[in-house]
Amino acid sequence: MNKKIVIFDDDKEILEALESVLDFVDWDLITCSTGRDAIDVILQEKPDLILMDVLLDGYDGREICMAIKASSALKHIPIILISGLQNSGVENKDYGHNDYLNKPFNAGELIDKVYFQLAS
């Protein structure tokens, strides 16, 4: 069975870049351009990994991350937060996320982090 990854980013170019970098592996990718229904999407899709931007079309990915990690049904899912902001706090892992990726990102670093989280 293929691993399923849900990707949240409101920047269409970043979303497409993430998708194209990760599409070469036989993973099932689900992309979302808003954080509005993030919890519902995650409950429905039951992903093996979540990639989430910190700023999501008026929603805070850090708050969504904390809500996911507070849920007994979802807390086991690894989350990689993505941020182009300096001082976003993602380096400290204060939001319960498993890893972070700075924008602009290196494709090799992204793939390494995804493989590591899927193997954990």
The tokens describing 19, both together, are 């998708």
What whole-number distance in Å separates Cα of residue 53 and Cα of residue 110? 13
Range 85-101 average pLDDT: 82
Residue 41 belongs to a domain with what CATH number? Answer: 3.40.50.2300
What whole-number distance in Å separates Cα of residue 5 and Cα of residue 114? 9
Range 74-100 average pLDDT: 87
Does residue 112 surpass a pLDDT of 90?
yes
DSSP-H helix ranges across the chain: 12-22, 38-45, 61-70, 107-119
pLDDT at 25: 83
pLDDT at 90: 75
pLDDT at 71: 94
For strand 99-102 and strand 79-83, is the pairing parallel, antiparallel, or unpaired? parallel
pLDDT at 100: 93
Range 89-114 average pLDDT: 89
Does residue 1 surpass a pLDDT of 80?
no
Range 26-37 average pLDDT: 91
Range of the domain at 19: 4-119
What whole-number distance in Å separates Cα of residue 75 and Cα of residue 68? 6
pLDDT at 72: 94
Identify the bridge partners of residue 101 per DSSP, sorted by sequence position: 82
Does residue 28 surpass a pLDDT of 90?
yes
Into how many domains does the chain fold?
1
Q: What is the DSSP string of 51-73?
A: EEESEETTEEHHHHHHHHHH-TT
Helix, strand or coil, per DSSP, at residue 112: helix
Does residue 6 surpass a pLDDT of 80?
yes
In tens, the pLDDT along 41-58 reads: 999 999 999 999 999 988
